[in-house]
Structure 1
């Protein structure tokens, strides 16, 4: 979550005067446009390609009455050759939030050529249709559409020119800093636990992808902060904000998708002795997704020559099934009042009204944020991924704790493995 002072955080919880933007254009350490850019309309998205990568994208339409900001040359003020826009979000009646630094990746002017006749004593337009003492002047008032990405675009462009490996004594965080330090400073948030990395690891071409893979090994992600710094943050944290009816929430919805709902995992390999094909499978046998039930048959296939025995294949099929059940999630779509502090990857608590007249609270991870507006910011829309297990527990109010002590629990909907740990408590409140 972006840093907020106390006054600003309190202002975001209630009604306030209109919020506004301040946008300044820089190249290197120099302002390239003296005055703040005049924003006509805008949109911003945080999107999570996966749990460890948060990309921030912007589209700005800015006024250009003099027709000077639409780029022709690569050294023009708002060209794509290194220009960055610094965005500051001013909360009405309170303070300001440093929203971030974004590199211009597209400059598209929308120019309207117009002309007007001006008085100019002594001038006669040759072969023109104007009377004496009048001159025709052409003007090109315009607006410019800018597309921008956060600073992680820079190490993504800067590919590795040859394979590299970690140095002796390197850790995951030190390797991240070595790979990306030319492009931004890195801040390690509380809760991230570093560890050593093998010198036998080989990075090929993708600098940013190599760093992302490293962070995944310590259950950490990365995202850009408000001052152009990169934050390494733990994926599993306490909620940073409660969003509920009467407190910032405008609406909440949910969505189910058929895609990816498997109920059989088939693992194939080659026998390490005779080289013949081997295969093993693990099924869901009970519940709404049971293999061959109402959901039908939806197998997932995995093949690797590293699988050399039937036992290996069976064990990995069960591992894939375990992972599916642990990570099965439901997406909530939340509309709320404008909030510049929230970022993709933040954990939030969502209060969902349900049919019986109560609010049940689910903790989830923000996987997408959409913001937009004209001159003024409008609503903030969130996509929040919540554990399906938490959803079931909250709706039923009957946690299945008795099954957690079974000696050989099956991975079904009414019997869950002990490795899932203790079920979360669910808080219920009456709606007013």
Structure 2
């Protein structure tokens, strides 16, 4: 986003949404009329993205009811929607790319066509293995074998490739195989706005992209959620094995003073472990790295969250860091764990976690 657009979206502004429909690399519709809709992202989910659109059945002489036509722009036969969020910057539109989404369901009801889409990882989740998958190369080639050609994979510079041990096998669940590889490699995967799958090291933090203050510009903050001990832990244990079959182990303790589950704190003075195993971890160092990254990733859902409602900001994504003043916090760095962005005038909501 330009500096001008960044300034504008932090107060009331004029917006519009442009939706394009594509199938197999072919543009089917360049300007789908969107009456309403919303975009929801939650990085604790296997498929983090979901977009819902309301489209008129007929507009400018075009019928948007997909009916039984598999080639219709809004049909659910491989059609993908690209969403662009427009901000009025002094009489012209600046378009912010929100990414690509797979149509999973569409249909007409009265004068409206309802379209439901999900993130492109849906292609991996639904594509079960029809024969056992036995990797024989490296972690990079294994991820490519599980994901491509449905999604093109890019790898960040924070990871070092290594060999996959002989004898590994996944029978049917392609997504489970991808998740195991990522956990053992201490890696995250997310679909980019360009529609590729970016795999990089698990990180938490970074420079703040926005400052939020309770009560300023209509921003409202409150602590949210319920509390439970179900599934809680203060230690992560990662178990692997070396080339001779000996079991290895790495341990990571929750030492965060802001965590309600801090090891050695009032939650429980004894270890309450979360354990996972994978033969992809071949050394104690790899087990420790896997334990630490898993602790970091699981804390995204277990930590306290602050709910924020604000003027829609189409430049924000899950994983972004914002600086927060309010609800007892002063210039506190927080990471966005989930968001809901309206595609018509309204309020945006965030769920953020204090770092």
Give the whole-Å Cα distance in 1 for the aligned partners of 2:176 and 2:41. Answer: 18
Residues 1:166 and 2:135 are matched in the alignment: yes
Aligned residue number for residue 94 of structure 2: 95
1:11 is displaced (CA, Å) by 3.8
* Larger displacement relative to structure 2 (192-201 or 21-30): 192-201
- 1:134-213 alignment runs, 5 A limit: 142-168=111-137, 170=138, 172-190=139-157, 192-200=158-166, 201-213=168-180
253, 257, 260: which one aligns with 2:226: 257
Moved more, 192-201 or 80-89: 192-201
Work out whether residues 26 and 84 of structure 1, in 8 Å CA contact, stay in contact via their aligned partners in 2: yes
**Whole-Å separation in 2 of the counterparts to 1:107 and 1:338:** 26
Q: Does 1:27 align with 2:23?
A: yes
1:390 corresponding residue in structure 2: none
1:48 aligns with 2:43: yes
Larger Rg, first or second structure (1 or 2): 1
Task: State the partner residue of 2:209.
Answer: 241
Q: Matched residues in 1 for 2:225 and 2:28: separation?
A: 47
Distance 1:362 1:264, change over 3 A: closer
1:25 to partner: Cα distance: 1.6
Q: Residue 38 and residue 221 in structure 1: after superposition, are their counterparts in 2 closer, same or farther (change >3 A)?
A: same
Quote the Cα distance in structure 2 between the aligned partners of 1:383 and 1:352. Answer: 14
* 1:76 CA drift (Å): 4.4
Work out the number of aligned pairs and report it. 302
The residue aligned with 1:296 is none
Aligned runs of 1:6-405 on 2, under 5 Å?
6-12=3-9, 14-15=10-11, 17-33=13-29, 36-49=31-44, 53=46, 55-65=48-58, 68-77=63-72, 78-93=74-89, 95-111=94-110, 142-168=111-137, 170=138, 172-190=139-157, 192-200=158-166, 201-236=168-203, 237-245=205-213, 250-260=219-229, 288-289=266-267, 327=299, 329-354=303-328, 359-373=329-343, 376-386=344-354
Q: 1: distance between equivalents of 2:233 and 2:190?
A: 34
For residues 240 and 336 of structure 1, what CA distance do their matches in structure 2 show?
17
Change (3 A) 1:205 1:290: closer
Could you tell me the TM-score, scaled by structure 1's length? 0.60
Question: SS in structure 2 opposite 1:260?
Answer: coil
5+ residue gaps, structure 2? 236-260, 277-290
Q: Cα RMSD (Å) of the superposition?
A: 3.6
CA separation in 1, counterparts of 2:121 and 2:317?
Answer: 15
**Structure with higher RCO (Cα < 8 A, 6+ apart):** 2
Pick closer, same or farther for the CA change 1:110–1:186 going to 2, 3 Å: same
TM-score norm. by structure 2 comes to: 0.72
1:253-293: CA deviations, max 9, x gaps?
1125221266999xxxxxxxxxxxxxxxxx999865468xx
